Amino acid sequence: MSVAQLTFLLLVASASAGVPLPRYEALLKQQSAPVDPTLGLYDDADKVIRLTVDNFNATVVDQNRGALVEFYNTYCGHCRRFAPTYKTLAEHLLPWSEVLVVAAIDCAAEENNGVCRNYEVMGYPTLRYLGPGFQPSAGHYGQNLMTQDVTEIRELLAGMVAAENLTSSHNNSYWPNFHYLTENDSVSSLFEGLSSATQYVAVVHEPENTTLGIEVALFMTQWPAVEVRRVIDPAVSAKFKIDPANLPLSLVDRQGEITAYAPEYANGESYAKKLEEVLREKNVTPRPVKQHHQPVATAAPKITGQNELIEEVHRNKHFVYQADLEQAIRTVLHNEVSKVSEISGDKLLALQRFLTVLQRYNPLGANGHQLVTKLKDFVVQFNDQLTGSQFEEELKRLESQLSPVYSSTHFVGCAGSSPRLRGYSCSLWTLFHFMTVQAVANEDSQDPLEVLQAMHGYIRNFFGCTECSEHFQAMASRRKIWSVPNKEEAVLWLWAAHNEVNQRLAGDATEDPEFPKKQFPAPDSCSECYRTPETKSENLEIEWNKDAVLGFLKNIHNPQFVSRYGVQREELLHPTADKMRQKRQISSVFTDMDMRMGMLLYAFCIVMMVLAFKLFAFKGYRKKPYGHDLLGKV
């Protein structure tokens, strides 16, 4: 292809993208600072204790109290939707903190890979109860809570805490007495063995098959002046003036005076609220809630010109960015695969297929190509089983050997208006779209399903959003992914699948308000892609011009037109077509100059040789005086 032809194509491509070439080149030169990728879903304003590899054991292992731990992924949509519920739960259970803390660890942070891998977390979010004195062991990494309802979680935790109290011993003076009162108990015996600071005993009638009394006791752990006891036998309840139907709660003082009460609602929090009101009237105050140490949060550095970046992405919403492709690969390798405990069977085969496809359509530079190739060669040698720690160790070894590998450390086109929005899931879609388009022009493989199969296997076995993975597998089956006839149809299959996901998530709590979920491409990006331009893009019944869509997708995913806006180390990447053209032009200029200079020097040398020959080589030559008085004789 001639320079003129290449220049023409660049201009056409830029014009079709709606951006003049000089403006496009200017965008590529822009720089921006990285965003901290480890920022999780919880911060100092929440009552959730943030766990990392540095404080995990000190917070939840071998402690004299229990812990509820959420293992989550920042980029998991289901985790994002659950985060407000978990924050509410942590606030709700804060009075229990002497006996049970509410914590969370972000498995999307690379530093936490080992913890999430060792605890064999298979889906996100995962809730585990780790009791007092907990020690992890093979097959025992806490008790799973298979619900995300606040009431159900509270009841399950109450039952687990009570079971710990009745079956084990632990050095925690704040742990309530969960044993039922019996017919042998009386008003006079209630205070036996109690501290002199305990001025009252609250007696709670607990209906059968509930945890009401346990919850009341846990809510009152911050009130050292009162001991909560449970009663289930109506006859015993009567000793303490309790009427289970009307006055299910009573307060006994050391003088033997008993007063019965009727809480507003039949739940532990309402019972505790009633007791607190009564105690405050008696000038009794609670102990301050213990503040648990939180790791110092690393503030996410602002991207230089964050507003400008978002504006540029809005203007060029069809652009594919090098930074996003790299972030997808980095997260896949360093986080998703590395945190899997055991990679065998279908998982191992899926990883081998993914790395084979990634090697073939790798968007990284020379060092990145070597990294993926060597990593693929390492993985394919395993026939039975590979561990995530082995994979991570080899990955880090290769990176230290080939460093630097990545030209960018942050998202650009997939950056959200908040660090907790968009990001990796957006970049993963971008990577697979990019690879399906590259596969069309590749003649080494005739398999139309190579990229789709690699994507399906990866999402099924490694993607850190369990709900997303299940949705994708169901959609793939319904859309007959295994019947795609050729590579171009594979490009269109993935495009249609992505639009279906966008339609399903439009208006979802995880949607970035700056980047609402719409059908792609939008009419202002590719009007030819619509057979009926007046049809709104939110409507899945759009009559698409699929030939135009295919041409559009091939254009924007052309490696030569992938935007390097925001890239920090462009020297790590392969030269663009424009730079290659400039290099060839410069090379041509220097070649002509060298020829002219060579001819001039050649002629000069000939003249000098003739003069030298005349002066020194003729026989009979003799010196003659030089007749100039000033210079003397030569």
Q: Which two tokens stand for residue 166?
A: 């009745």
Given a cut of 80, whether residue 179 has pLDDT beyond it is yes
- Confidence at residue 22, expressed as pLDDT on a 0 to 100 scale: 38
- Confidence at residue 274, expressed as pLDDT on a 0 to 100 scale: 95
Q: Which two tokens stand for residue 600?
A: 């001039």
Average pLDDT of 379-406? Answer: 94
Q: Going along 373-503, which residue ranges are E strands?
A: 385-387
Q: Are the beta carbons of 72 and 124 closer than 8 angstroms?
A: yes
Is pTM, for the whole model, over 0.75? Answer: yes
Helix (H, G, I), strand (E, B) or coil at 204: strand
Given a cut of 70, whether residue 629 has pLDDT beyond it is no
- Confidence at residue 291, expressed as pLDDT on a 0 to 100 scale: 65
Distance separating alpha carbons of residues 442 and 510, to the nearest angstrom:
37
Average pLDDT of 146-150? Answer: 93
Q: pLDDT for 90-135, tens place per residue?
A: 999 999 999 999 999 999 888 999 999 999 888 899 999 999 989 9
Average pLDDT of 567-580? Answer: 75
One-letter identity of residue 388: G
Average pLDDT score, the chain: 84
Q: Are the beta carbons of 15 and 25 closer than 8 angstroms?
A: no
- Confidence at residue 579, expressed as pLDDT on a 0 to 100 scale: 53
H/E run at residue 374:
helix 366-380
Q: Are the beta carbons of 286 and 223 closer than 8 angstroms?
A: yes
- Confidence at residue 96, expressed as pLDDT on a 0 to 100 scale: 94
H/E run at residue 159:
helix 150-167
Q: Are the beta carbons of 495 and 552 closer than 8 angstroms?
A: no
Average pLDDT of 53-82? Answer: 92
User: Which of the residue ranges 8-12, 69-73, 221-225, 239-243 would you say has the lowest mean pLDDT?
Assistant: 8-12
- Confidence at residue 307, expressed as pLDDT on a 0 to 100 scale: 75
Looking at residue 147, the DSSP 8-state letter turns out to be: -
Given a cut of 80, whether residue 509 has pLDDT beyond it is yes
Distance separating alpha carbons of residues 557 and 149, to the nearest angstrom:
43
Average pLDDT of 425-449? Answer: 92
- Confidence at residue 445, expressed as pLDDT on a 0 to 100 scale: 81
- Confidence at residue 525, expressed as pLDDT on a 0 to 100 scale: 87
Distance separating alpha carbons of residues 574 and 220, to the nearest angstrom:
65
Confidence of residue 617 (pLDDT cuts 50, 70, 90): low
Average pLDDT of 599-627? Answer: 64
Q: pLDDT for 521-540, tens place per residue?
A: 988 889 899 987 555 545 55
Distance separating alpha carbons of residues 498 and 455, to the nearest angstrom:
13
- Confidence at residue 541, expressed as pLDDT on a 0 to 100 scale: 76
Given a cut of 80, whether residue 405 has pLDDT beyond it is yes
Helix (H, G, I), strand (E, B) or coil at 140: strand
- Confidence at residue 600, expressed as pLDDT on a 0 to 100 scale: 74
What domains lie within the chain, and their CATH numbers? 10-21+318-572 (1.20.120.310), 49-167 (3.40.30.10), 200-281 (3.40.30.10), 575-634 (no CATH)
User: Which of the residue ranges 99-113, 169-183, 304-318, 470-484 would you say has the lowest mean pLDDT?
Assistant: 304-318
Q: Which two tokens stand for residue 149?
A: 């309802």
Q: How far is CA 598 from the centre of its chain?
A: 61
User: Which of the residue ranges 409-423, 488-502, 593-607 would you say has the lowest mean pLDDT?
Assistant: 593-607
- Confidence at residue 554, expressed as pLDDT on a 0 to 100 scale: 93
